Structure 1
Amino acid sequence: MRHGGGETVHLGYCTNVHPAEDLAGILAQLDTYAVPVRRALDADPLGLGLWLAAPVAAALAADEGLRRRLRAELTARGLEVVTLNGFPYAAFQAPVVKHAVYHPDWTTPERLAYTLDLARVLADLLPADAPRGSVSTLPLAWRTPWDAGQADAARRRLDALERRAGRDRAGHRPGSCGRVRTGAGLRGGVHRPGRRPCSPAPTRNGWASCLDLASPGSAPGRNRPPPWAGSPPPGCRW
């Protein structure tokens, strides 16, 4: 779609609610859900916010031929990838998720490796008219515990991401149980007394965030527990 400012804006149908953790499963759920949505909207193409679990992201990042195949399969279905969902590492569709979806977090090398795999895949899937790509990710870590050592580890991972992610941005999604809970917290980074902030966004490209937006009529419901969450953990509120 064309933004009022003259820029092209890509909207995407998010696939992370559909369980699929290998390429065959991804293609099957696209046929089941995304293709009918495209037809219903008469959209050609339909943008996707594609979720790739860590194993399939690693396989695609390591195999250019596999990435070409995925792009060809998307094109044949009238689909394009405009962003990748990199928040859930795996098993997002489990009956109860809670804090498990926050692991591995940004204090670990696994989270950095996963996000870099997604950035490599996205570089070969982006539409030609997209100036940059985005990978949504978690708000650093679960809210507690959090100490100076964890903050330093997260800063090192984010510094490495900034150096190696190319034209892709990581969009950190604030959450009530995450280390970054609000947009203001995202702008300020994670401050440590006497140390520079651990900022969850590449500074040379500006701030990036992934936000959930609700219509005015549905906004009050945002305070109710999500269906997958169960009761709120200690120190958190929905």
Structure 2
Amino acid sequence: MQTGYGHLTYCSNIHPGLSWEHHFNELRTNVPLVRQAVAGNAPMALGLRCSNEASLVLTEELDVFRQWLRENHLYVISINGFPYADFHQEVVKDRVHRPDWTTAERLDYTKRLCNILARLLPDGMEEGGVSTPPLSYRHWWGSSLPDTADQATRNLLKMIGFLIDLRRETGKLVHIDIEPEPDGILDNGGDFFEWYSQKLLPMGVRYLQEERGFSADEAREAIYAHLRLCYDVCHFAVSYEDPATVFAHLAASGIRVGRIQVSSALRVDLGEKREEKLNTLRAFLEPIYLHQVVARTQSGELVRYPDLDLALAADSADHAEWRVHFHVPLFMDAYGLLRSTRPDINQVLELHQANPVTNCLEIETYTWGVLPRELQMPIADSIIREMKWVKQQLEKN
């Protein structure tokens, strides 16, 4: 849906479906209902999620999918290329990073998604993005992590070369949107900005000069155009990153934002009713997804835990606050004694309204099926409430 501040959409990773047949059936069942409720007869954008398996089939069935999009007043502006395999029916945890950017499998999958997106972008829309993991999962690598980051960066530079050719072929600028996430090699915004300036740009300029004969300025512009930040508000909030500081760094660095993922994390103030709050938090323990925790101590130090069960086992009286990577509904700010990081969403949207940084606002609450039972409701109703809430925030100013 077009707003005054970009296209508002939601990511279809909310819907299950490893195969294209299964996922397309979920889209046919739910997306027209959402569009009618939030956009009326106007067109609505869709953020597509497409597994590796599904992408192989969709490549052959693009005409059928395009026809369905036209008939239902829908258009695709973005693809979520983070999860490679199943994202709902089995344990995901750290497997969501596999295969990572050190592998040919991740490179080939992402190329296929970019080809699909270039051919799905509607006439008159010249760019769109494919989101992707933050290089790899840092806990796999130990002392070899720097070498791993180098190998991942080399594959991303091959990806940029592919996207340069794709733009010449199709006229569409498709960009890769890297999504920092707790315990990724690019764990947070600080990691991302350091990697981009200290590793990606120097390696990328040399690569494009040697492989393409680009000047240094041409190489930098190609990198800025084709590799961008996926600003997942939940992830940045879990790391206690100030949105105004992030926006200022973006403006100063020249790095672009491919999309803002509008998402909210759990926030627990441990100053009062500590045991009651921790007991309430135990209802969010579930076996499918990683729920990284970043604790802020009384002195302001940040202590990181790879998953919620580990944080609960290591609870310390010195912890003043927890932020938990559990995507919770946007339209709620409290869950009993627990709160959310929704104020970060409000701040990010206000900053974006004052100085727009992307044309894509994508809602990404994918945890409906694993929320405590009292928070669950029919999926289409949940998506509609989220879309309407974000639209209301954008219309306030």
CA distance in 2, matches of 1:212, 1:222: 16
Report deviation, 1:17.
1.9
Shift in CA distance, 212/226, structure 1 to aligned 2, threshold 3 Å:
farther
* Contact in 1 for aligned 2:50/2:79 (Cα 8 Å): yes
TM-score for both structures, normalised by structure 1: 0.82
Task: Choose from 212, 224, 228 the match for 2:232.
Answer: 212
Query: Which AA in structure 2 matches 1:126?
Result: L
* Contact in 1 for aligned 2:18/2:87 (Cα 8 Å): no
Report deviation, 1:32.
1.8
Secondary structure, aligned partner of 1:47? strand
TM-score for both structures, normalised by structure 2: 0.51
**Structure whose CA Rg is larger:** 2
Report deviation, 1:171.
0.6
> Aligned ranges for residues 56-205 of structure 1 at < 5 Å?
56-61=54-59, 63=60, 66-144=61-139, 145=141, 146-165=144-163, 166=167, 167-189=173-195, 196=202, 203-205=223-225
Query: Which AA in structure 2 matches 1:25?
Result: H
Shift in CA distance, 220/173, structure 1 to aligned 2, threshold 3 Å:
closer
CA distance in 1, matches of 2:44, 2:22: 19
CA distance in 1, matches of 2:222, 2:134: 14
* Contact in 1 for aligned 2:160/2:227 (Cα 8 Å): no
Task: Choose from 14, 19, 39 the match for 2:16.
Answer: 19
After alignment, is 99-108 or 120-129 more displaced?
A: 120-129
Report deviation, 1:156.
1.6
Shift in CA distance, 43/139, structure 1 to aligned 2, threshold 3 Å:
farther
* Contact in 2 for aligned 1:97/1:229 (Cα 8 Å): yes
CA distance in 2, matches of 1:226, 1:171: 29
Equivalenced residue count is 228
CA distance in 2, matches of 1:73, 1:46: 13
CA distance in 1, matches of 2:148, 2:230: 22
Shift in CA distance, 59/229, structure 1 to aligned 2, threshold 3 Å:
closer
Report deviation, 1:206.
6.6
Query: Which AA in structure 2 matches 1:143?
Result: R
Report deviation, 1:191.
8.5
CA distance in 2, matches of 1:231, 1:15: 20
CA distance in 1, matches of 2:226, 2:267: 28
Unaligned ranges ≥5, structure 2: 168-172, 206-220, 238-262, 269-280, 294-303, 308-323, 325-397
Report deviation, 1:43.
5.2
Whichever structure has more strand as a proportion of its residues is 2
Whichever structure has more helix as a proportion of its residues is 2
* Contact in 1 for aligned 2:134/2:178 (Cα 8 Å): yes
* Contact in 1 for aligned 2:160/2:226 (Cα 8 Å): no
Which residue is equivalent to 2:4?
Answer: 3
Query: Which AA in structure 2 matches 1:182?
Result: N
Unaligned ranges ≥5, structure 1: none
* Contact in 1 for aligned 2:9/2:44 (Cα 8 Å): yes
CA distance in 2, matches of 1:91, 1:132: 27
CA distance in 2, matches of 1:17, 1:89: 15
Secondary structure, aligned partner of 2:150? helix
CA distance in 1, matches of 2:196, 2:224: 18
Query: Which AA in structure 1 matches 2:78?
Result: T
CA distance in 2, matches of 1:139, 1:226: 24
Query: Which AA in structure 2 matches 1:122?
Result: L
CA distance in 1, matches of 2:185, 2:204: 11
* Contact in 2 for aligned 1:87/1:137 (Cα 8 Å): yes
CA distance in 2, matches of 1:32, 1:23: 14
RMSD: 3.3
Shift in CA distance, 203/79, structure 1 to aligned 2, threshold 3 Å:
same
After alignment, is 121-130 or 203-212 more displaced?
A: 203-212
Query: Which AA in structure 1 matches 2:86?
Result: A
Which residue is equivalent to 2:266?
Answer: 221
Report deviation, 1:91.
0.8
Report deviation, 1:13.
1.8
CA distance in 2, matches of 1:14, 1:78: 17
Aligned residues with identical type, % of pairs: 30
